[in-house]
């Protein structure tokens, strides 16, 4: 079994903020026994996700 990677609350906050900055609403975070972190999001329409990504790319070059 793989050794879990150490992480702290500030690391998770940065992960959530980055996800939200891309326009995706965060509905949960799952930390697996192997230490992997999965951010759960919910997107209403594929079009809105594309628009959010384009908007993010324009703001961040």
pLDDT at position 5, please? 66
pLDDT at position 8, please? 85
pTM over 0.75: no
pLDDT in tens, 6-60: 788 899 999 999 999 988 899 999 988 887 889 999 865 556 778 888 888 899 9
Residue extents of the structural domains in the chain: 9-60
Q: Where are the alpha helices (DSSP H) in the chain?
A: 9-21, 46-60
pLDDT at position 27, please? 92
pLDDT at position 50, please? 80
């Amino acid at each position: 079994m793989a050794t879990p990677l150490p992480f702290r609350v500030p690391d998770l906050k940065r992960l959530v903020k980055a996800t939200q900055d891309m326009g995706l609403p965060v509905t949960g975070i799952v930390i697996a026994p192997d230490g992997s972190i999965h951010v759960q999001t919910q997107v209403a329409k594929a079009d809105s996700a594309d628009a959010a990504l384009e908007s993010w790319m324009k703001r961040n070059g």
